[in-house]
Structure 1
Amino acid sequence: GAGVAGIGGQLLAGSRDAASSREAVGRLVPVRTAPVIPADADFAKLGTPTFVTPNADFYRVDTALSVPQVRTEDWSLRLHGMVDREIRYRYGDIRNRPLVERTITMTCVSNEVGGTYVSTANFLGVDLADLLEEAGVRPGAEQLYSSSVDGWTSGSPVAAAMDRGRGAMLAIGMNGEPLPIEHGFPARLVIPGLYGYVSATKWVTDLEVTTWRARQAYWLKRGWGREAPIKTESRIDTPKGFETVPSGKVRAAGTAWAQHTGIAKVEVRIDGGPWQEAVLSHEVNLETWRMWWIEFDAKPGGHQVVCRATDRSGYTQTEMRAGTVPDGATGWHSIAFTAR
């Protein structure tokens, strides 16, 4: 089991050593599996992504110039700070606990309107709330300040990390296998509903429970926001911008997301006409994206398609365009195409 923390360092291995260590982990079997994804959860045949993103296609955005190579036998996670009991977990302590599996859509704050820095996976791991409760979080704690083996830091709200309805995880698996090395092997944080820079530390080795005033994480020092809930967004996946398609019946399809709130509807506007409600895919859970499609007549010539999403709180995406800094882009995605 996990014992009281002692002195220990994190050792970087060669890529071959890390790959061998990952292979030795074997099959990860959760005690609670994620629900089976129904066939109507995506419209991939119409041009949307598949509902679950293959590991090789999952977006990657980080500051690592070279991917950290860490063996499980060298890895540990120190949990300390404003807690009753400082704990150091070894990989075996986590691997041998009852594992849970959750389907979660992650989004990067640097995702522009219509961008592709959004992906979905079945993550396997342990509840972050369990680890924090074992340590005993003290009153007044606000921030979970996490550090990667390469020194990168992130600050997450303690309330979000401990919210069991949100399902924050220390993940060691992804889509039925150990985490890929480039996605954080041996372990990473996954806190649904928050942009990755405050929720998704890869190669995580240190968790300090603290206050916002006491610690300032990497991206906060560079002007990004402290609170980073993922914004309600939608995009058009097909037709592609400036594509030429046959005239007549045309189907537009795309993706929308409003993690921790859920997508209620997507509307589409063709050539400046009235908003039309699109067909939505099956809703898997509130922490995942939904796909949409709509069919319309396109006469020969140029056309424009615009989309907007409304989440389950009743909020509809704003038309106002804003860049990604400090807390995520806003605006309606639009594309132009030609019918012939």
Structure 2
Amino acid sequence: MQTRKFAALAGLAAAGTALGVAEIVAIFTGPATSPLVSVGGVVIDSVPGEVKDLAVQIFYTYDKLALTIGTLVVLAAIAAGIGVLAARRRLWGYIGIGLFGVVGIAAALSRHNSPWYAFVPTLVGAVAGAAVLRWLLTHEAGDNATAEERRWFLRAAGYTLAGAAAVGFFGRWWSTRRGVEADREAVNLPTVAPNSVAPLPPDADAKVPDLAPFVTPNKDFYLIDTSLVSPQLTTEDWKLRIYGKVEKELTISWAELLQRPMIERYITLACVSNEVGGGLIGNAKWQGVRVADLLAEARPRAGADQVVSRSIDGFTAGTPTDVLLDGRDAMLAVAMNGEPLPVQHGFPVRMVVPGLYGYVSATKWLVELELTSFADFDAYWIKRGWSAKGPIKTESRIDAPRDGSSPHAGEITIAGVAWAQHRGISKVEVRVDNGAWQQATLLPVPSIDTWRQWTLKWQATPGQHRITVRATDNGGDTQTDAVAPPDPDGATGWHSISIEVK
């Protein structure tokens, strides 16, 4: 029994060493070549859409952290088993490490745009892990070991695990920042012509406690994507290819993109996975080049009813061509709230299309626009059962008071946001308990492409109360009360909160 415990610990130390060393090597080969990242990426791409939806619902924007932790737990269990087998016969341990090395190498080489040397981190890590396993098993503290031998073994295995963890964390931290942050900080954004800037009304933000600010700070903007780590793409390496069903194929460099006329617009983005009343939505000031101008230069051919935007990591989103050409401010964004795009939000370039959920429009780390048709190609999420075109639905949310809070009796401000991007909000109504609908005050907005804050003064009386909100867009369509989940084209229903007034 004692032998098994020490052998399992040896297996854990060996696996930790393999992963830690691989992360260090990935500093030089790129973070996507890390076995943990590449295997995790294969898992993300392989699991059914409903599993991903469940992960977002349970872990929210920490779904990838949960996947990483879960993967490490599974690897730890298997590594312990390999250690026990290796204690019986050393060859079995080497075979076990070798099999996991093969899985890691296959995953790394299978990733989109993976370099030929993507196998190196896994290979070097596996060799290091095998060496540590051999070293520890040579000094294994079995049932007949002395107390001093057991203490030595525990110290050796413990120090090895701690060192591997430290090395691994450093390798991941360094490889995901190598050169890109410095490159981002060196970017000089071009000046936008005054007639291409949408000014923000001075009273667009009610500044009510707990109410989401009109402009979402970059650090608070929601993050949902399929990348386990953010791709590290410098402006020097970036280029955009526009091809497919076009009369003229284009390749545009970063310098050439910045020389083109730019616009600056406030646009609200929303995730299709957002539940009614949820926070997977944000509003920012974006700066970029109109997609319509680029498409006009490329000249789409007849039948090219879909523009497939492709990320450097292979993610795809399909946007209706007519939406990109209908006059809305769809852009290739290079800046967010006055600064170059944060790396996790798509630096150097991402798509921003008002009026569509992000899964069909908001591709980050953009490198390709392919003109094709919906009949010929299904993008990433469409293959997993989501609706092909993804127009955003009219929705509203109560931010203040908070659900479950206990405000004092007297006048309080009920406040929230409502959105119907590219249609705009014309009315918001609030109902307390089963009373009549009361029309809220709408704050001004710079355009129909942003969410809109609303407020309502209410004389709160002691007791339990339920507050409900609904919105109407500029087309006269009122938000439906029919409850539907996010899958396949966005959640619906009225948002309600419960409070107890003291």
TM over 0.5: yes
Write the distance in 1 (CA, Å) between the matches of 2:394 and 2:321. Answer: 23
Q: Displacement, 1:151?
A: 0.8
Is the counterpart of residue 31 in structure 1 residue 31 in structure 2?
Answer: no
- Residue 81 of structure 1 corresponds to 244
CA contact (8 A) 1:83 1:135 kept: yes
Write the distance in 2 (CA, Å) between the matches of 1:50 and 1:243. Answer: 20
Is the counterpart of residue 320 in structure 1 residue 482 in structure 2?
Answer: yes
Write the distance in 2 (CA, Å) between the matches of 1:48 and 1:14. Answer: 34
- Residue 353 of structure 2 corresponds to 191
Is the counterpart of residue 299 in structure 1 residue 457 in structure 2?
Answer: no
The correspondence of residues 63-82 of structure 1 with structure 2, limited to 5 A, is 63-82=226-245
Larger deviation, residues 241-250 vs 25-34: 25-34
- Residue 6 of structure 1 corresponds to none
SS at match of 2:208: helix
Write the distance in 2 (CA, Å) between the matches of 1:173 and 1:93. Answer: 16
* Residue from 45, 56, 64 that aligns with 2:208: 45
CA contact (8 A) 1:140 1:211 kept: yes
Is the counterpart of residue 59 in structure 1 residue 232 in structure 2?
Answer: no
Structure 1 residue runs of 5 or longer lacking an equivalent are 1-8
* Residue from 219, 222, 245 that aligns with 2:407: 245
CA contact (8 A) 2:176 2:230 kept: no
- Residue 3 of structure 1 corresponds to none
Write the distance in 2 (CA, Å) between the matches of 1:89 and 1:128. Answer: 13
SS at match of 1:245: coil
Write the distance in 2 (CA, Å) between the matches of 1:206 and 1:10. Answer: 16
Letter aligned with residue 486 of structure 2: T
CA contact (8 A) 1:34 1:122 kept: no
CA contact (8 A) 1:305 1:335 kept: yes
Aligned-residue identity in percent: 50
- Residue 126 of structure 1 corresponds to 289
Q: Displacement, 1:14?
A: 4.8
Write the distance in 1 (CA, Å) between the matches of 2:415 and 2:458. Answer: 11
- Residue 299 of structure 2 corresponds to 136
Is the counterpart of residue 270 in structure 1 residue 417 in structure 2?
Answer: no
Q: Displacement, 1:46?
A: 4.3
SS at match of 2:211: coil
Is the counterpart of residue 311 in structure 1 residue 473 in structure 2?
Answer: yes
Is the counterpart of residue 259 in structure 1 residue 421 in structure 2?
Answer: yes
CA contact (8 A) 1:43 1:49 kept: no
Structure with greater helix share of residues: 2
CA contact (8 A) 2:200 2:445 kept: no
- Residue 61 of structure 2 corresponds to none
Letter aligned with residue 282 of structure 2: S
Deviations 1:308-330 (CA, angstroms, capped at 9, x unpaired): 00111110011110000000000
Q: Displacement, 1:39?
A: 2.7
Write the distance in 2 (CA, Å) between the matches of 1:328 and 1:45. Answer: 28
Q: Displacement, 1:122?
A: 1.1
Write the distance in 2 (CA, Å) between the matches of 1:162 and 1:187. Answer: 20
Letter aligned with residue 332 of structure 1: W
Deviations 1:177-217 (CA, angstroms, capped at 9, x unpaired): 11111110010111110000111100011111001111110
Q: Displacement, 1:331?
A: 0.3
Structure 2 residue runs of 5 or longer lacking an equivalent are 1-112, 119-174
Write the distance in 2 (CA, Å) between the matches of 1:45 and 1:275. Answer: 22
CA contact (8 A) 2:421 2:451 kept: yes
Structure with bigger gyration radius: 2
Write the distance in 2 (CA, Å) between the matches of 1:98 and 1:10. Answer: 34
Larger deviation, residues 247-256 vs 41-50: 41-50
Letter aligned with residue 146 of structure 1: S
SS at match of 1:129: helix
Aligned residues: 331
Write the distance in 1 (CA, Å) between the matches of 2:273 and 2:191. Answer: 33
CA contact (8 A) 1:46 1:253 kept: no
* Residue from 394, 397, 401 that aligns with 1:235: 397
* Residue from 374, 378, 387 that aligns with 1:225: 387
Write the distance in 1 (CA, Å) between the matches of 2:190 and 2:454. Answer: 33
Write the distance in 2 (CA, Å) between the matches of 1:15 and 1:175. Answer: 21
Write the distance in 2 (CA, Å) between the matches of 1:90 and 1:58. Answer: 28
* Residue from 147, 161, 170 that aligns with 2:310: 147
Larger deviation, residues 129-138 vs 20-29: 20-29
- Residue 172 of structure 1 corresponds to 334
Q: Displacement, 1:293?
A: 0.9
Letter aligned with residue 354 of structure 2: P
Task: Kindly report structure 1 stretches of 4+ aligned residues shifted beyond 3 Å.
Answer: 9-14
SS at match of 1:20: helix
TM-score by length of structure 1 reads: 0.94
Which has the higher relative contact order, 1 or 2, with Cα contacts under 8 A spaced 6 or more apart? 1
C-alpha RMSD of matched pairs (Å): 1.5
CA contact (8 A) 1:28 1:178 kept: no
Is the counterpart of residue 202 in structure 1 residue 364 in structure 2?
Answer: yes
- Residue 498 of structure 2 corresponds to 336
- Provide closer, same or farther for how the CA distance between residues 273 and 141 of structure 1 changes in structure 2, counting only shifts above 3 A: same
Q: Displacement, 1:45?
A: 2.6
Q: Displacement, 1:30?
A: 1.2
Is the counterpart of residue 101 in structure 1 residue 278 in structure 2?
Answer: no
Letter aligned with residue 270 of structure 1: V
Structure with greater strand share of residues: 1
